[in-house]
Amino acid sequence: MFEQLLNWYTRERRDLPWRRGVDAYGVLVSEIMLQQTRVEVVIPYYQRFMQRFPRVEQLAEASLDEVYEYWAGLGYYRRARNLQAAAQAVVALGGFPTTLEGLRDLPGVGEYTAAAVFSIAFGKPAVALDGNAIRVLSRFFALTGTLTAPRRRDLIARVLPLIPEQQAGDFTQALMELGARLCVPRGARCLVCPLASGCQALAGGLVDSVPAPAPRARREKVDLLALRIRRGDQVLLERREDDPFLAGQWVTPWFADGEGVLDRYVSEFPGTPVRVGQVSHGVTFRDLRIEVWDWETSALDCGPERRWAGPGARLPRLASLVLGL
């Protein structure tokens, strides 16, 4: 059923560094780096990383600081720590686990990555469900509605027996490559898709509505915020955009007990049409904790799900700026 897919993949596959006959270690490194990260971004990082740590033993023996150096800029730094821990586990085991469960037990390796390594590195059949594969398969089988955990298991069981013998690795990568290049979220190129003839979503006109978009947590901006930096329970600095006199300045707080500061503030300014919200975002640098507080303005009709969604993603950069790190 998926022969056309494999033919397409053989013909169209991109020449990527981790597709040049690398071992299980190379596959693992690439898969970890590729988690939530685009191929084009990963390529140079992968090459530098593999040049410095060509073998699993070298990664296992390296200092964590150096591993971080080579990871710097990639984001999701927990991956770097877990990857080295996984390398150490592999060395301790005397080699890579050869079962799906064994791979799954490595730190940083979840259902997807275990299946990917299992199939790509060892050529054994496994269904690696990443975002691409889920989209491709959901459309192919016209799976409407939310893909819950049990439905995912059903999907895996359904696809597993369809994996061509001796081509498990290619199958895994072909599914993802198709999702990345043709069966894209919007504007799928069905006219040139190798799976078009068997695609149930295409037949039913469901390509644009399947898979169901994940219910995204609704986030709204609020126009009042405070930023607080503390070490343990001690509040070091605070910045309050709502304060008529201190707006935009970094100040030491009135109350250094670390508790009740914002409640006390509101009681100091009883006319202020705000009520205290809660910490909406936080980041930790060594022993320093930076918190973003938000308010819910009483003037606006906002439900309890309302969340601050300002520059939260940029908080680490802001923090390093403020702290001189």
Range in contact with DNA (rule: CB under 7 A) among 3-11, 53-61, 129-137, 293-301: 129-137
Q: Cα–Cα distance between 2 and 29 in angstroms, integer?
A: 28
- Report how far residue 80's alpha carbon sits from residue 68's, in angstroms, rounded to the nearest whole number: 6
C-alpha of 25 from chain center: 21
Q: Which of 44, 54, 110, 273 binds DNA (CB under 7 A)?
A: 110
| Rounded least distance, CB 128 to DNA, Å | 8
Is residue 217 at the binding interface for DNA, with CB under 7 A as the rule? yes
Q: Among this protein's residues, is 305 annotated catalytic?
A: no
Interaction of residue 211 with DNA, rule CB under 7 A: no
Of 206 and 256, CB closest to DNA: 206
- Taking the least distance from each CB to DNA, the nearer of 177 and 238 is 177
Burial of residue 135, with CB atoms counted within 10 A of its CB: 0-12 exposed, 13-18 middle, 19 or more buried? buried
Is there binding between residue 107 and DNA (CB under 7 A)? yes
Identity of the residue, 190 or 256, whose beta carbon is nearer to DNA in the bound complex:
190
Query: In the β-sheet with 234-240, what is the strand arrangement from edge to edge?
Result: 250-251, 234-240, 225-231, 288-297, 274-285
* CA atoms within a 13 Å half-sphere pointing along the CA-CB vector of 137: 26
DSSP H/E element including 225: strand 225-231
The stretch near DNA (CB under 7 A) out of 32-40, 61-69, 234-242, 247-255 is 32-40
> Measured between alpha carbons, how far is 203 from 182 in angstroms, rounded to an integer?
17
For residues 298 and 155, what is the distance between their CA atoms, to the nearest angstrom? 47
CA distances from 274 to 207, 239, 243, 282, 296 (A): 46, 17, 12, 21, 6
Active-site residue (options: 3, 31, 69, 305): 31
Q: Which of 48, 158, 189, 317 binds DNA (CB under 7 A)?
A: 317
Q: Does position 75 bind DNA by CB under 7 A?
A: yes
The token pair that represents 155 in the structure block: 């999907």
Q: In the window 39-58, what residues touch DNA (CB under 7 A)?
A: 39, 41
For residue 63, give every residue at least 6 positions away whose Cβ sits within 8 Å of its Cβ, in sequence order, or none: none
* Subset of residues 232 to 261 that bind DNA, contact rule: CB under 7 A: none
Closest approach of DNA to the CB of residue 23, in Å: 16
Return the residue of 90, 159, 177, 188 that touches DNA, per CB under 7 A. 177
Which one of 11, 21, 161, 216 is in contact with DNA (CB under 7 A)?
Answer: 216
Active site residues: 31
Binding residues for DNA, per CB under 7 A?
16, 30-31, 34-39, 41, 73-78, 82, 107-114, 130-132, 148-149, 173, 176-177, 179-180, 185, 213, 216-217, 219, 221, 280-283, 309, 312-313, 316-317
